[in-house]
Structure 1
């Protein structure tokens, strides 16, 4: 069989309030052409189908349109949920999609055999897919396990390994002598990340060690990490990476899908996805920014999105105002500044200089410190409010975390 491995579609993603719907439509169009040209038999999507657990109507529409387009090419689809996805939302149309030969595993089923998918079917199985979705703590760790933080991390690692071992044992017992591929959505120790990944399993500290993957599997198709890369394991183990650039830190990544031709083994072929849009980062002094923006040219099918970073020696409210004006007045066809920030090399101040000579840092509340930092940055009012809201959410997570 010829199988494509992809992951982290993040349908409905906003990059600093700029929706990437057009980007995803172009990716699916390209993917459909690739499926037809390469005669792909199956596509594996290893988690994070959506960017939000409760996706918008537009995001859901794009999802179903993508499924229809791929189904029309007579291609099997196996989709698993990621940490961004709602298991119940993905699983809701499960029976309908199954009738269309589309397998969706939103959350971990009670019985491991419900994750095991023979392709093309049970009567004529050429490959077995162990479609494990993102494993939440409740899936892999008993409430009674571990009294300390380190104990809980160890219990999570042990629980993840147990689920992969259980899936491997079922494949070997029920479908002996048929190669098996495992799907997973997790953080493997030692891999490179970008700014757009959301931490999983207690801030990624419960990183799963690659040598724990069961060697019965011929290939392990991973999701969650957006930078495409190989994991150092005993069997071919890969993150396909996200098909779209989801943050400015990914602007130089070569996005790709991975093609496995089981007749030739399980070392995948990397197929580059064309960049539909450029993400550009412009940095320098105020004068340098003016010059660079003036000569900037558009490339690609979609509007280029720009991050601007002003770097100056001395803190200056005048230059902050000039930067605001520069960004507000910037107008070039198919070029849009969606993020800007400042960095002053000599801005570090003692807490007494920021809050007054009579106050010490340890006397202040965390939010007061955070608000004071925001005052020295060139954020729009709505951006500042969003950052404060995010700070409150993070603080709440820290105080309520188990």
Structure 2
């Protein structure tokens, strides 16, 4: 049996106001071409289907059209919710999708048994998928109660571990001798993250160790981290990563999907996804930037996006003006400068903040804005951690009310 693992589609994502819908469409075109030549039995999508909990009608339309395209290949599709997804939005068409052999678990069911999806071939159950979505506070608090922030973080880890281990134990009892593949959307210890991972737990406070998953799984298909990587464990535990770059920090990452052929091994084969758009980060003096802009070569199908950081020693209003003029007059075909920043090395921090082209509030998530505000608060680390925890609970409650 062949199983394809992907995650973190983030349909509706914009990168500095540039819509990445075309990038995603090209990924799906490539994926369909791959499936046409390399049939698979199951497609796993481990969370963050959408970039926003309340996706636009255009994003929903793109999602449903994608499912229709993929179903032409006669494969079972299993989708779990991520932290960006609204469980109610994902599960709204659940009954209809089930008839198409598309299984959606947007939120953790009340019964662990409802996470187990048996995969059959020739009337024999060959694989069990333990489809565990992103676990929210209300799921975790049912299992544990903690008074202090430190205890709460440990309780979160233990509760996530409890969900994974209880689900796998149940699978072992119901389907003895059948291999188990787990799906999860979470932050694990030791992973490398990028700018686009929003609402990552701060300071590894709630990150999972590989031991938390238990020893019953044959493979664990994770989402949440956009850089493809494997956890250091005896069991193959992989983040497939996002299929397209979602931030400039991902510009050098090789994007991929993972193919598991259970007849050979549960060690996956990495299938590289072509690059559809170049993201270019240019740093240097004004003269160096001008030279590097001129040297850019267009190699991708979609418009190249450029981020600029001018680095000069001494403050100069003239240099600021010249950079603005350079950007305004930039007309290279299939290229667009989407963000720029100025840093003068020999300036006081306060002066630098006034004279530098700063990021706008719209560039940040609510949690990122809160964390930046917290940097200037005169409180000890423990109090700050408690404030972060309280903010996360309020934000989740607001998101739930919007749904």
| Fold shared by both chains (TM-score > 0.5) | yes
Does the aligned pair in 1 maintain the 2:13–2:246 contact within 8 Å? Answer: yes
User: Corresponding residue for 2:108?
Assistant: 108
Question: For 1:261 and 1:198, how far apart are their aligned partners in 2?
Answer: 32
Confirm or deny: 8 A CA contact 2:144 2:155 kept in the other structure.
no
The SS at the match of 2:11 is: coil
- Contact 1:324/1:378 (8 A) holds in 2: no
Residues 137 and 201 of structure 1 are in contact (CA less than 8 Å); yes or no, is this contact kept in structure 2?
no
- 1:96 to 1:299, Cα distance in 2 relative to 1, 3 A: same
1:320 aligns with 2:320: yes
1:117 aligned partner: 117
Q: Which runs of 5+ in 2 are unaligned?
A: 375-386, 394-403
Equivalent residue number for residue 60 of structure 2: 60
Matches within 5 A, 1:196-211: 196-201=196-201, 204-211=204-211
Aligned: 1:22 with 2:1 = no
CA contact (8 A) 1:105 1:132 kept: yes
Unaligned runs of 5+ in 1: 355-371
Aligned position for 2:379: none
Structure 1's 117 and 343: CA in aligned 2 closer, same or farther, altered over 3 A?
same
3-state SS of 2:263 partner: helix
TM-score (normalised: structure 2):
0.89
Please tell me whether the aligned partners of residues 213 and 233 of structure 1 are also in contact (alpha carbons under 8 angstroms).
no
CA distance in 2, matches of 1:77, 1:29: 17
Distance change (3 Å), C-alpha of 1:258 and 1:400: closer
Deviation, structure 1 residue 376: 2.4
CA contact (8 A) 1:211 1:234 kept: no
SS in 1 for 2:164: helix
The verdict on how the C-alpha distance between 1:245 and 1:298 changes in structure 2, with shifts beyond 3 A counting, is same
Q: 1:322 Cα shift?
A: 1.2
- Following superposition, the deviation at residue 401 of structure 1 comes to 4.8
Q: Is the 8 A contact 2:198 2:365 kept in 1?
A: no
Tell me, in whole angstroms, the C-alpha distance in 2 between the residues paired with 1:271 and 1:325.
43
SS in 2 for 1:83: coil
Range with greater deviation from structure 2 (42-51 or 139-148): 139-148
- How far, CA to CA, are the matches of 1:400 and 1:74 in structure 2? 44
For 1:384, the equivalent position in structure 2 comes to 360
> Which residue is equivalent to 1:253?
253
In the alignment, what sits opposite 1:296?
A: 296
CA distance in 2, matches of 1:253, 1:341: 23
Distance in 1 (CA, whole Å) between partners of 2:241 and 2:392 is 29
Alpha-carbon distance in 2 for matches of 1:387, 1:95: 37
Q: How many residues align?
A: 378
